[in-house]
């Protein structure tokens, strides 16, 4: 889905994804896909520095009609899993909202002017600006990468195979669109 310009009344065009850390990715997949009917459309297997430590995780996306998604993380290391769960103030749980580049830059400028900390990460499939709200919720503003339709098509075709590979213990990263 191509990114539409944000409206003057909202800095986001749609929900990109809402992320949550789960204990058993296959149980989660069965519930969201098999029971509720949300299609699994992407499985990203990653090794990256998350909050100052290299971590290995699986990140799945289940599509909503407007191309937004419910997303879930499972970490390979049980200590990382426990640290990132919802019951931890430092969890990786967040809400991600899709926007365009100009709007993301405007948000960044306003955060700078307000003296609020933020960070930007290029995931390859999107560029994300992260900020923590006053209650501790991380809000992510994403701009889809050029070629997102092709990236999404590739992920749709491989999502189940990649999840199976991850669940079978192969933790090899598959994000070939990420730039480091």
Residue 2: is its pLDDT beyond 90?
Answer: no
Residue 180: is its pLDDT beyond 90?
Answer: no
Question: Given this model, what pLDDT does residue 6 score?
Answer: 66
Question: Given this model, what pLDDT does residue 75 score?
Answer: 96
Q: Distance between CA 122 and CA 129 in Å, rounded?
A: 9
46 or 64, higher pLDDT: 46
Residue 98: DSSP 8-state: E
For residue 3, name the pLDDT band (cuts at 50, 70, 90). low
Question: Given this model, what pLDDT does residue 16 score?
Answer: 93
Q: In what order do the strands lie in the sheet with 126-132?
A: 40-50, 53-63, 69-75, 14-21, 94-98, 138-144, 126-132, 119-122
Q: Distance between CA 135 and CA 21 in Å, rounded?
A: 19
For residue 5, name the pLDDT band (cuts at 50, 70, 90). low
For residue 38, what are the contacts with CB-CB under 8 A and spacing of at least 6? 32, 62, 63, 64, 70
SS3 content of the chain, % helix, strand, coil (to 5): 30, 35, 40
Residue 85: is its pLDDT beyond 70?
Answer: yes
* 102-159: pLDDT as tens digits: 999 999 999 999 999 999 999 999 999 998 887 677 889 999 999 999 999 999 999 9
For 121-133, letters b (16+ CB in 10 Å) and e give: bebebbbbbbbee
Indicate whether this model's pTM tops 0.85.
no
Question: Given this model, what pLDDT does residue 127 score?
Answer: 96
Average pLDDT over residues 51-79: 94
């Amino acid at each position: 889905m191509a990114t539409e310009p944000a409206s003057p009344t909202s800095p986001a065009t749609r929900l990109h994804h809402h992320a949550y850390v789960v204990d058993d990715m296959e149980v989660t997949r069965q519930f969201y896909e098999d029971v509720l009917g949300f299609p699994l459309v992407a499985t990203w297997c990653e090794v990256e520095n998350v909050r100052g430590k290299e971590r290995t995780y699986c990140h799945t996306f289940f599509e909503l009609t407007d191309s937004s998604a419910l997303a879930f993380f499972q970490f390979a290391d049980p200590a990382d899993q426990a640290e990132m769960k919802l019951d931890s103030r430092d969890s990786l749980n967040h809400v991600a909202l899709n926007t365009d580049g100009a709007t993301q830059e405007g948000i960044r400028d306003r955060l700078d002017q307000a003296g609020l900390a933020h960070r930007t990460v290029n995931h390859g499939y999107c560029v994300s600006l992260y900020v923590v709200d006053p209650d501790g919720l991380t809000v992510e503003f994403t701009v889809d990468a050029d070629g997102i339709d092709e990236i999404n098509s590739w992920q749709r075709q491989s999502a189940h195979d990649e999840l199976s590979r991850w669940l079978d213990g192969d933790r090899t990263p598959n994000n070939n669109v990420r730039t480091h």
